[in-house]
Amino acid sequence: MEDVGQGLGEESPTNLIINYLPQTLTDEEYRSMFLSIGPIKSAKIIRDKATGYSYGFGFVDYQHAADAERAIQTLNGLQLQNKRIKVARARMGGENIKGANLYIRNLPIPWTENELNKLFEPYGKIIQSRVLVDLQTGVSKRVGFVLYNTRQEAEAAIRSVSGTTPEGCTEPILIKFADDNSKKMRPPNVQYVPSPIFPGHGPGPMRNQGNRFRYNPMSGNYNVQSSTLNGGYVIFAYNIGNNATERTLWQLFSPFGTVQKVNVVMEPGKGVCKGYGFVTMTNFQEAQNAINHLNGFYFQGRPLQVSFKT
């Protein structure tokens, strides 16, 4: 499956397409993450208008092309909750995708996105696809979504597939436009298999906080003091290594909550990190949680020293 924004058409120097967004990511967290890079014109997660269901991608339009490029270099490939996001330049007009999302019923229980894509790829460019599964059991709900690049492609798929019984199916596939069906349908909860990878380490245990996945690499309690700056909570991170970048700090701290800003302190004229930096987080509890779990944690062979900036 290809990503939206990667097809034909002129690329915008400031408008970015972000694929593979976690379903639990809020609009506020999304906007805050990209605003920390630089001033933006707009930030939008593409959702179903009636239900608020996220289609797993969004757009960010920066005021300056340099900030857009910096966002790509800093955030592309970032492990965010249970997904690894992809940040790239969007095609001109790429946000104007309307009426091209299909709601599909009677899928075979064993089918995943791979089988769904094979069935629908012949009719056009697929932007996103998803098979919904039961939250408790992980078993398919036999319902899926396919978002095409254009309305015409979606219409072609309906004409060719709806009412037919493809190989592997036991009953006819039924298809509607998702927008037409949204008043009748509330998308079931989607069960994701959480698999965030901590930089330089294997996966750790997970816990669910308010339906948002958080990474828990270690346990421990530390006495901390709070320090706020520009509405956020500033954290001092020491012993992050000479090769650390802003992306390093994003990867370390974003699993714990919303990161407003990161700043790696560099050696003047040398282009290498002095071994420490600062992270600004929106929420105090999330910042304290990050400190509790990262202070003393061995990162690339070194124990981190993490505390509120005092």
- For the stretch 230-246, pLDDT in tens is 468 999 999 998 888 88
Instruction: Report the alpha-carbon distance of residue 18 to residue 72 in Å, rounded.
Output: 10
> Tell me, what's the pLDDT at 40?
93
Q: Which fold has domain 11-91?
A: Alpha-Beta Plaits (3.30.70)
pLDDT in tens, 33-62: 898 888 999 998 888 776 777 778 889 999
> Between 222 and 88, where is the model more confident?
88
> Tell me, what's the pLDDT at 90?
80
pLDDT in tens, 250-282: 878 877 778 888 889 998 888 889 999 999 988
- Assigned token pair, 308: 């509120």
Contact present, 153 and 125 (Cβ < 8 Å): yes
Which CATH number is correct for 233-308, 3.30.70.330, 3.90.1580.10, 3.10.129.10, 3.30.420.40? 3.30.70.330
Q: 101 forms bridges with which residues in the sheet?
A: 147
Domain with CATH 3.30.70.330 in the chain: 11-91, 101-182, 233-308
Angle between helices 65-75 and 246-253 (to 10 degrees): 60
Which range among 137-151, 162-176, 197-211 shows the weakest confidence by mean pLDDT? Answer: 197-211
Mean pLDDT of the chain: 75
- CATH class of the domain defined by 101-182: alpha beta
Contact present, 263 and 248 (Cβ < 8 Å): no
Which range among 57-66, 210-219, 301-310 shows the weakest confidence by mean pLDDT? Answer: 210-219
